[in-house]
Structure 1
Amino acid sequence: MAVPFEQPWEAVINRLVLWNVDLTLVDVAIVTRDAYAEAFRTVTGRPLVKLVPANGRPDSEIIFETLAVNGIRAEDEHLPRFLSALAGAFAERRKRLPKEGRMLPGARDALKAVARLDGVVQSVLTGTIKSNAVHKLKAFGLDKYVDFELGGYGEEVYPKATLLQVAQSRAKQRTGTVFTSANTVVIGDSTRDVQAARIGGAAVIAVASGRSTASELREAGADVVLPDLTNASEVVAAVAGLTAPFERQTG
């Protein structure tokens, strides 16, 4: 269970930064595949032959496509059963994450530096289900910088752009500030992250640490493209430059 994020809400929170998890902050692909294989066998009684690539998609979408490419006709009960099995299988493997996975270069310093920016609250916008997102960040000591309760996750069966709006709504309910494209920043590594931010209403910092190239990220419409997160000052400057101080709004 995640430790509740402590935020001094007496301060005015007027910047929302939403991080993608996989290939932006961490890479735990080996453990993820093993968890999917176990969950698939638990739900279908068959071995997993092919796991479709994530490519910025939510777990709910990956599950349906994985069932299809493995010759399983999806039924109504498949998704909730698979999500439950995936959460359990991943939790059982969480101690493997620091050994078989890795934190992306600069991730900790970038999160820590952005957290110091005036008026910022950080959370995640990820295709990963919530419990697994917590495990992934906690394994590398990154959980202390984010408020998981404000994020958007893969078990919520919405397009990522809608998950962005869900996260903005959660942040508004918590802080009283209205979050829009003027004070919300998504940081991700895929063209899907960029597209979701554009559609959902956020500025976007794209990091070329995943499978999308810098040129692809620019063409998708990223406001800022960075090669990686190793220059924390550059990340902070990008967030600051894409947001503006807003007075607390209500309603």
Structure 2
Amino acid sequence: MSRLVLWNIDLTLVDVSIVAREAYAEAFHKVTGRPLVKLSQHNGRPDSEIVYEMLAINGIVADDDHLPRFLDALAEAFAARRKRLPKDGRMMAGARDALKAVARLDGVVQSVLTGTIRSNAVHKLTAFGLDKHVDFEIGGYGEEVYPKATLLQVAQGRARQKYGGIFDGGNTVMIGDSARDVQAARIAGAAMIGVASGRSLPAELHEAGADVVLPDLSNASEVVAAVAGLTSPARKAG
């Protein structure tokens, strides 16, 4: 059987917020010529959306060139700081063991569904040795201007194209820490494992519609059991 597991990155697998804020500030200054004064909240949103809000709240009227220029500058600024990620960031509890354990399930393909642009997503996971079991080619990223639910379906299409077989709502699981992640999975018809390691409380993840809510990833057996249960033939038939 086929299984597609899509991981959120920030506050689910890693926390590199200090480095990310610095990269955003540098990119903002490079593109606008002004210092970044006001920060926008990420809260599970894609970089493309964050950039527009950041420009607006800092008094910049965005034109068609701002987004691609900002994302290029963000990629450059983040790459320049990638060696600092293990020192100034952290891997979330249990992340490595959870990825390894899920990789042992029959027919599983793991990738990411993240608001982070692709180059930065690769840096974030590689810095902590979390890239081994992740196929970045089929993931969904923050430079792709789609709602997250649509991006999840795009990732399913990429998985089908690369691996063949069927990847749909019956065998796709998203794992993330925010209510926005849960909502995206629900809209796309995928199963959802909420991890209360970010800004959303367990009750918020339950209320948003998560199928399973875990306090963190520290119990790899629980993560595997949840993924296996949510991608079982019985669930798909139902």
SS in 1 for 2:132: helix
Residue 148 of structure 1: aligned partner: 136
Residue 23 of structure 2: aligned partner: 35
Tell me how large the CA RMSD over aligned residues is.
0.9
Number of equivalent positions: 234
- After TM superposition, what 4+ stretches of structure 1 lie above 6 angstroms from structure 2? none
| Equivalent residue in structure 1 for 2:99, among 97, 105, 111 | 111
Q: Deviations over 1:136-174 (max 9, x none)?
A: 000000000100001000000111101100000000001
- 2:225 is the alignment partner of 1:225: no
Q: Deviations over 1:164-197 (max 9, x none)?
A: 0000000000111221111000000000000000
Q: Deviations over 1:64-84 (max 9, x none)?
A: 000000000010000000000
Give the Å deviation of 1:244.
2.2
Tell me the amino acid that sits aligned with residue 203 of structure 1.
A
Residue 51 of structure 1: aligned partner: 39
CA distance in 1, matches of 2:31, 2:55: 10
Give the Å deviation of 1:242.
0.1
Do 1:14 and 1:245's aligned partners in 2 also have CA atoms closer than 8 Å? no
SS in 2 for 1:186: strand
CA distance in 1, matches of 2:58, 2:165: 45
Residue 167 of structure 2: aligned partner: 179
Residue 146 of structure 2: aligned partner: 158
Residue 124 of structure 1: aligned partner: 112
SS in 2 for 1:145: coil
Residue 134 of structure 1: aligned partner: 122
CA distance in 2, matches of 1:201, 1:90: 33
Residue 10 of structure 1: aligned partner: none
Tell me the amino acid that sits aligned with residue 141 of structure 1.
G
CA distance in 1, matches of 2:25, 2:111: 28
| Equivalent residue in structure 2 for 1:212, among 178, 197, 200 | 200
Residue 24 of structure 1: aligned partner: 12
| Equivalent residue in structure 2 for 1:193, among 166, 181, 191 | 181
Do 1:165 and 1:201's aligned partners in 2 also have CA atoms closer than 8 Å? no
Tell me the amino acid that sits aligned with residue 217 of structure 1.
L
TM-score scaled by structure 1? 0.92
Residue 54 of structure 2: aligned partner: 66
Pick which of 170-179 and 24-33 moved more: 170-179
Unaligned 5+ segments in structure 2 are none
Tell me the amino acid that sits aligned with residue 75 of structure 2.
A
Give the Å deviation of 1:126.
0.1
CA distance in 1, matches of 2:165, 2:171: 10
TM-score scaled by structure 2? 0.97
CA distance in 1, matches of 2:67, 2:2: 36
Give the Å deviation of 1:245.
4.6
Identity %: 79
Do 1:134 and 1:143's aligned partners in 2 also have CA atoms closer than 8 Å? yes
CA distance in 1, matches of 2:157, 2:165: 9
Give the Å deviation of 1:117.
0.6
Residue 7 of structure 1: aligned partner: none
Residue 226 of structure 2: aligned partner: 238
Tell me the amino acid that sits aligned with residue 121 of structure 1.
V
Do 1:123 and 1:146's aligned partners in 2 also have CA atoms closer than 8 Å? yes
